[in-house]
Structure 1
């Protein structure tokens, strides 16, 4: 099974943009800071731009920045932009018993997804940036 890392990558990338809100950062800049390929960042930024979380300018002095203040972007906004699929997927197996299992799992997965979404709605990019910027206590 493949693990989708777009959400985590997107959060990391947006935190870099939030740390310097007035600076246009290229996908190469962000990729270098995250030790990943610029193509990965361009794909993530493309989805974030479609969701109006990032704005980008092309050209030799281009780059990307947040489309609105970090305090107005929740982790739920980012998750919705990058992982539209849902947290869990069920498999349909033939048979009545398996159908009941699938239905029960669907109910559980729906409940868990609502809980996760509610938690993500309560955290803004700005809050997360402040949290990670604090120096650890001795």
Structure 2
């Protein structure tokens, strides 16, 4: 009986590893497509990013409003945001994978990494 359980766990871990790889691939592809769309919009607008010279959208609200208005800089910021979130999502899936493996130490370490990432985003946003 333990052999079947071990085999099932190995198959599940293999599935999780494949899923992590797919998350990274899809995240990078989606980010690249969004950035390319922003670049195309920038070229269509003749190099005008949709904002006054020296100003770029920096808040989530201004990025979302700019994206809805199809402002090139805002669209490219969404692409950058997707690119940044890709490894964060990988950390979240890794926490789940370590939990399924019953590897408590790595669950705590990876959770600490996620907390540090979240704190750095908050600090980066407020500074």
* TM-score normalised by length of structure 2: 0.36
Larger-Rg structure: 2
**TM-score, scaled to structure 1:** 0.34
Q: Which has the higher helix share?
A: 2
Structure that is richer in strand per residue: 1
